[in-house]
Amino acid sequence: MNNHQSEASETSSASSQLPHWAGLSPERAARVRLSVAVEPCDRVVAPQLVGLDGVSAWNAVAQGLRGPFARCRSRVEQVDLMRLWSVARATRMRVVIPGDDEWPSGLDDLPVPPWCLWVRGEGRLEELTRRSVAIVGSRAATAYGSGVARSMAADLGDAGFVVVSGAATGIDIAAHQGALGAGRPTVAALACGLDRAYPAAHRDQLDRIRDDGVLVSEYPPGQTPMKYRFLARNRLIAAMTAATVVVEAGLRSGSLNTAGHAVDLARPVAAVPGPVTSATSIGCHELIRQGAVLVSDASDVLELLGPLSVPALDPKREQDTMLDLLSEVAGRTRDAFPTGRSVSVDVLVARAGLEVGEVLAGLGELRALGMVEQRDEGWCLTRAGQ
């Protein structure tokens, strides 16, 4: 037996060493491991695993740490079920997998569904999302946009719909606030482990969401938010809900990514118009131009909740920046840098979920663009790379 097979055998037997409260079946244990080892939308690894059950997928990753799975090596070595379940127990976190009563059926429509969901809160995720609407939008929200989001969320709650959003600054948190202010539960999908509050300034409101609704993530405890994780998170928001409403959005807003996933899933998409001179509404106007339904309040959204197709037109785009032109590996390497300090290649390998050779290639590309530099204490981002 080679070293990789030995590692896989050891991790495969770990579930039998868990305390009785964990209650992990082999399938659930495998899916928990995959949530650590594999980035949800990894363009190299994910296509190799589509259609496999959890045990088969984990065996493929853990025993095949070459070729497409080489970038998972560092993550596979980090899998520690005992630690994960210790954190889960301490924070009253639970794991939901396909086939569980709490699994939102809409997630099965995704090309790459999550291996599992980590959930915190008093609500039941499937029940809350059964009649739900996503309200998303710009972090740089105006008073107008925040007011619309709060009012719309409150009225949708009164009509029996649960608001789902991402708890980000701006429109997202305003939507959650509207639901909470009306005494209604809400669902927040996060792009990090649920053992941390992100953004930290929203800790109190995340606690309130957890008390009546739920916090949900496909990332296990200990995982930090990164740019590509927000994009992966957006597909969950679109898939769990009956429709997506964008309140304010610039042309580069992540909420347009959520709307795009909704279109791909044949879910209705709506947008709130704003002043034609407002940079925070130009993305909404573009969605409407493409065929999204113009809405101004909850009654418009309720009318929307029927069969609807949104035609795809060529969207407007801002001019590409250097970040847009990076390869996938260079982009993931750049996102793995911690803020304001130098870091070693080994740390980047672990944080980015790539193999050493990929990180080195990414660093070479970033250095050629003047975005990183090497110092005695390690690699760091330059001003151009921040």
pTM of the model: 0.84
CB 68 within 8 Å of CB 48: yes
Asked, for residue 102, whether it belongs to a domain, the answer is no
Domain end residue (candidates: 59, 90, 121) = 90
Residue 313 lies in a domain: no
- β-strand pairing of 214-217 with 117-120: antiparallel
Q: Is residue 96 a part of any domain in this protein?
A: no
Structural domain total, the chain: 3
Are residues 58 and 125 both part of a single domain?
Answer: no
φ, ψ for residue 216, nearest 5 deg = -140, 145
Q: Is the domain of 13 the same as that of 131?
A: no
CATH number at residue 286: 3.40.50.450
Which residue segment(s) compose the domain that 22 sits in? Answer: 3-90
81 lies in the same domain as 117: no
Cβ atoms within 10 Å of 55's Cβ, excluding its own: 18
Residue 378 belongs to a domain: yes
The answer on 186 and 71 residing in a single domain is no
101 within a domain of the structure (yes/no): no
Q: What is the pLDDT along the chain (386 residues), one digit of tens a residue?
A: 444 444 344 434 444 444 443 567 899 999 999 999 999 999 999 999 999 999 999 999 998 877 889 999 999 998 999 899 889 999 999 999 999 999 999 999 999 999 999 999 999 999 999 999 999 999 999 999 999 999 999 999 999 999 999 999 999 999 999 999 999 999 999 999 999 998 889 999 999 999 989 999 999 999 999 999 999 999 999 999 999 999 999 988 889 999 999 999 999 999 999 999 999 999 999 999 999 999 999 999 999 985 433 333 345 566 667 777 899 999 999 999 988 889 999 999 999 999 999 999 999 999 999 999 998 889 999 988 88
* Separation CA 178–CA 152 (nearest Å): 7
Q: Is the same domain home to 332 and 292?
A: no
Could you tell me if 149 and 206 lie in one domain?
yes
Q: Are residue 180 and residue 259 in the same domain, yes or no?
A: yes
Neighbours of 272 (CB within 10 A): 27
Please tell me whether residues 68 and 196 are part of one structural domain.
no
What is the CATH number for 332?
1.10.10.10
Residue 166's nearest CA partner among 143, 131, 141, 142 is 141
Shared domain check, 142 and 22: no
Same-domain check for residues 151 and 217: yes
Note whether 77 and 32 are same-domain residues: yes
Residue 257 lies in a domain: yes
- Do 232 and 177 fall within a single domain? yes
Write down which residue in 90, 116, 138 finishes a domain: 90
Final residue in a domain of this structure, among 248, 275, 304? 304
Strand pairing of 162-165 and 269-271? unpaired
